[in-house]
Chains A and B, each alone.
Chain A
Amino acid sequence: DAKTTQPPSMDCAEGRAANLPCNHSTISGNEYVYWYRQIHSQGPQYIIHGLKNNETNEMASLIITEDRKSSTLILPHATLRDTAVYYCIVSPGAPGQGGKLIFGQGTELSVKP
């Protein structure tokens, strides 16, 4: 499985966009990029995933570079409730198609007033 590299921590001002980077330089063609977050004392929460194209949903946007070696999760207007550990994961195929999520250390995002 491809490994990911994320900064261990980041700060963001409330109301501003939070841009969380992830490097996955060894990603292979059939591997998806997933983002999850874990708010303290809760189970991880699915945010978004993508293969090649940029994706957007009600929570966030995912920007994947053309060579797919890195990606950025964007929270457009961060709130205090977005304070969490954010995990970038690459998985060979989608879950249910042989893929399984292997978690790295993630980025601890602190949103400050």
Chain B
Amino acid sequence: SAVISQKPSRDICQRGTSLTIQCQVDSQVTMMFWYRQQPGQSLTLIATANQGSEATYESGFVIDKFPISRPNLTFSTLTVSNMSPEDSSIYLCSVVLRGGLQSYEQYFGPGTRLTVT
């Protein structure tokens, strides 16, 4: 398994500002993802964080709004830019570990609870 930490755990921000969320893993991982969970909803995949190159975004998400960095195999950041109240969500980092031959497992961080006022 992997130990995943996220900073901050929660924040309250004013509209129009930006927040950068950090994800740190205790081991090198093959893949990292960022998800969003709006209040009362399921998880939505935002993007795949690619090490050393631009992130791959899902439909409906763009780099200008959610810039992502992944400078190495254990760390990634997600920035929520020019925030509005609709961005109030839990943002979760997720990583993939190789569990064995032909076996992969995906783990999730504790999430960052963002409230935009």
Contacts and interface: CB of A to CB of B under 8 A. Distances in A.
Interface in B1-60: 4, 30-31, 33, 35, 42-45, 48
A96 B42 contact: no
A103 B98 CA distance: 21
The residue in B33, B43, B111 that gathers the most chain A C-beta atoms within 10 A of its C-beta is B43
Interface in A91-113: 94-97, 99-106
A105 B109 contact: no
A21 interface: no
A94 B4 CA distance: 20
A97 B101 CA distance: 12
Contacts of B106: 34, 46, 95, 101
Interface residues on A, range: 20 to 34
A32 B101 CA distance: 15
A43 B110 contact: yes
Contacts of B111: 42-43
A105 B104 CA distance: 23
Contact of A95 (B35, B44, B96, B109): B96
Nearest to A98: B31
Interface of B: 4, 30-31, 33, 35, 42-45, 48, 92, 94, 96, 98, 102-111
Interface of A: 34, 42-46, 49, 87, 94-97, 99-106
Given A94-B103, A100-B45, A101-B106, 14 more contacts: A42-B110, A43-B4, A43-B108, A43-B111, A44-B108, A45-B108, A46-B105, A94-B104, A95-B105, A96-B98, A96-B104, A100-B48, A101-B94, A103-B42
The 7 closest A-B pairs by CB, nearest first: A43-B108, A95-B96, A103-B43, A94-B104, A96-B104, A95-B104, A96-B30
